[in-house]
Amino acid sequence: MSVFLAKRFLTFVATLLGASIVVFLVLEILPGDPSMTLLGADADEEAYAALRLKLGLDDPAFVRYFEWMWGMFHGDFGVSYAYSVPVMELVWGSLGLTVPLAMFAMAITVVVALGLGVFAASRHNKPGDYVIMTISQLGIAVPNFWFGILLILFFAVNLGWFKAGGFIQWEDGIWLALKSLFLPAIALATVQAAILARTTRSAVLETFREDYVRTARAKGLTRSQTLWRHVLRNALIPVITVMGLQFANLLAGTIVIESVFSLPGLGKLVFQAIANRDMPVVKDIVLLLAGMVIVVNFIVDVTYAVIDPRLKVHDV
Amino acid sequence: MALLEVKNLDVTLATSRGPARAVRNLSFDLDRGQTLGIVGESGCGKSMTALALLGLLPENGVTTGSINLDGQDLLTLNEDAMCGVRGNRISMIFQEPMTSLNPLHTIGRQVTEPMLIHQGMTRDQARDEAVRLLERVGIASAAQRLDSFPHQLSGGQRQRVMIAMALSCKPDVLIADEPTTALDVTIQGQILDLIADIVAEAGMALILISHDLGVIAETVDRVLVMYGGAGVETGPTASLFEHLAHPYTQGLFAAVPKLGSGGRRGQGARLATIPGLVPELVDLPTGCTFADRCNIADGQCAGTVPTVHDVAEDAGHRVACLKPDDAKRQFAPAEAGR
């Protein structure tokens, strides 16, 4: 077990290192000079030069990369160019919104998708199945920012049930905070739930064709007993694989959705940081997102081993 | 009244190429303690017959005729009532022990399941009974095995578990569909002996489905030969093996490799085969299903449903053929040449 964890940890570090190089290179290629963004286009050459010197922008690329890495290794995540506060402070503030938002959206996705997927499979080639498949096709086709705007128009502007945007802090009441995350979570979850419902449906249908399902029926189990006792757990394996991939998509989706709903989260932060060429913030957040995705993948791998006795944790 | 009476059973599958008659006009009887073997090539309707008996045909299948179990027609029962029959009064052992057990459930959970649904046992009672059953089918250290998963067992052991599961509610009829086909040759005999012993011990009726004539000859009292969904010949094993009254049965036997039976000639000689391919079910002739490949068939065979003739009346050996005398003549010289 400890060998397994050590191996996984090394993989974790190696992946993060690879991600850091990619992030750094991409930001190097990105046009736009932070000093110009910070001072505006009208400042004189000397002011630019002074700022570039202060931020170390004239150092060679590998020096800046190693300074970044070295700093992180010592727990120093850099200072934001735009706000002049430590990046850590900015990130901590916004994680409290984005992580709950992603988990909320994931929860909606799982509940809706498993329910609809299993229902559609149990009504295979009947009207219920067709209706759900059509709706899910629509759900996949709808861009989430546009759907978010529709939700605001309908539920916030017309019906007035929710606020059109903004986040009510957790300190002001958990329910109020959750309520302010509800529409964004729905907007994020729609596409993912539609995809996952289709995956669930086909996994359940596939499993129904297995020999051991026929055995279960030959023992005298009814169709629904067979579904609950023999089919579902076997069908979960492909579903969980897709769920793991979707978590990464959800995190990426927050960048757009937090802007649509003006939520001060990680997505909004990184979006503005890119616009401001606030490199330390962008680099750290992208790396953090990469780390979160790797952790989720690890959880998925462990879940496989829990569900399927044929896999031992150390095989994963 | 026999325990199981199948009369004029027809199974039609709706396919994209039109209706396929997977089983046509099949009738047979089976009593407690009797064993029936169903032989034929793949696609001849053997497995469809078994699934029809359990009411587990694919969704595109329609069954007509009657299947009487103790005088009750199973085809008139609703789904709930059929669930009470499956695994309780009629049990089935499948061909593929590697895939027929749920990989995520323990052996104990799978063996106890029928007893929990049908016999209202408590978990502990069912567990004790499962240990006894596993011991009976020859699984060593049965109590520990209850907590094993299927992937920890060999193919032979898994088939033993399948047998234990099928027996758990002491069914009246046991259907074994190619129970040894997927197993090593060395294990096949053991499993067949086990099935035969258990059936004799409990006095249940056995339907053994196989394409292997050796398996059939060793295990059952009566044989039903199927081709293209129809029963072409039926009779007591000894009489059937002696007379081979149907041209298809003759072809089936000629296609079995025999060690040394042909003397020196046997070694280099080619194996006899039945000319042609098994036709698709949607393309079968309306009359005798074997007419396309039969060497004695004439113009009328394909269009006329074959009449049933007695081969050995007292033994109940019957053949469905329009030209039984020609078939007999064809078989006799072969016998003289042995």
Task: Select from A211, A223, A233 the Cβ nearest to the Cβ of B104.
Answer: A233
* The token pair that represents B61 in the structure block: 């299948």
Give the separation between CA B2 and CA B178, rounded to whole angstroms: 25
| Residue A125 burial (CB count, 10 A) | 10
Residue B337: half-sphere exposure toward Cβ, Cα within 13 Å = 10
Contact B118 A220 (CB under 8 A): yes
Distance separating alpha carbons of residues B297 and A146, to the nearest angstrom: 72
Contact criterion met (CB < 8 Å) for B104 and A215: no
Q: B89 is written with which tokens? A: 């009064």
Cα–Cα distance for residue pair B177/B189, rounded to 1 Å? 15
pLDDT tens sequence for chain A (316 residues): 677 778 878 888 888 889 889 988 888 887 777 777 777 777 777 777 877 777 777 778 888 888 888 888 887 888 887 787 888 888 888 888 888 899 999 999 999 999 999 999 888 888 888 999 999 988 888 888 888 888 888 887 788 787 777 777 777 878 877 887 888 899 999 999 999 999 999 999 999 889 999 999 999 898 889 999 999 989 988 899 899 888 888 888 888 888 888 888 888 888 888 888 888 888 888 888 888 888 888 888 888 888 888 876 555 5
User: In chain A, what residues touch B162 (CB-CB under 8 Å)?
Assistant: 215
Instruction: Kindly state whether B256 is in contact with chain A, defined as any CB-CB distance less than 8 angstroms.
Output: no
Alpha carbon of B92: minimum distance to chain A alpha carbons (Å): 7
User: Given an 8 Å threshold on Cβ–Cβ distance, is A218 in contact with B56?
Assistant: yes
Cβ(B67)–Cβ(B52) under 8 Å?
Answer: yes
User: Quick check: A217 and B117 CB within 8 A?
Assistant: no
Domains within chain A, CATH numbers bracketed: 89-275 (1.10.3720.10)
Q: Which residues of B touch A229 (CB under 8 A)?
A: 113
Find the DSSP H helices in A30-156. Answer: 34-39, 45-55, 61-73, 87-122, 127-141, 144-151
Angle between helices A232-260 and A144-151 (to 10 degrees): 70
Q: Given an 8 Å threshold on Cβ–Cβ distance, is A214 in contact with B85? A: no
Chain A residues touching B207 at Cβ < 8 A = none
- State how far Cα B239 lies from the chain centre: 19
| Beta carbons of B104 and A217 less than 8 Å apart | no
Interface of A with B (CB under 8 A): 210-212, 214-223, 225, 229-230, 233-234, 307-310
Q: Taking the model in full, what pTM does it have?
A: 0.79
ipTM of the complex: 0.85
